[in-house]
Amino acid sequence: MGVGTYLALASVLFGIGAAGFLTRRNMLIQLMSIELMLNSVNVVLLAFNRVNPGNHDGQVFAFFVIAVAAAEAAVGLAILIAYYRIKKTIDTDDASLLKY
């Protein structure tokens, strides 16, 4: 398979993640959509690393994206739990009320 196939897969995954983030009001679904978009970036990085196998920059960047995604999931779930304890819901419609 060529790089174009991987880029097409990554763009479809990114589009699904972006659509899920923009259309859903559930915070948990939005966090999963962000993870899907980060994984599509990993697919792109590894696809370009496959073109130039002597250089491992794509794999190194993919490792850092995975680390950032793990940190984002931990912080996001902590915020989600705190929000649920206050509001007893995980819909983002009422999230603007937290700034007071």
Nearest Cα to 68, choosing from 46, 28, 39? Answer: 39
* pLDDT tens profile 39-79: 999 999 999 888 888 888 888 989 999 999 999 999 989 98
- Specify the amino acid at residue 1: M
Selecting from 1.20.1560.10, 3.40.50.720, 1.10.287.3510, 2.60.40.10, what CATH number does the domain 3-93 have? 1.10.287.3510
Domain boundaries, the chain: 3-93
Per-residue pLDDT band for 87 (boundaries 50, 70, 90) equals confident
pTM to 2 decimal places:
0.83
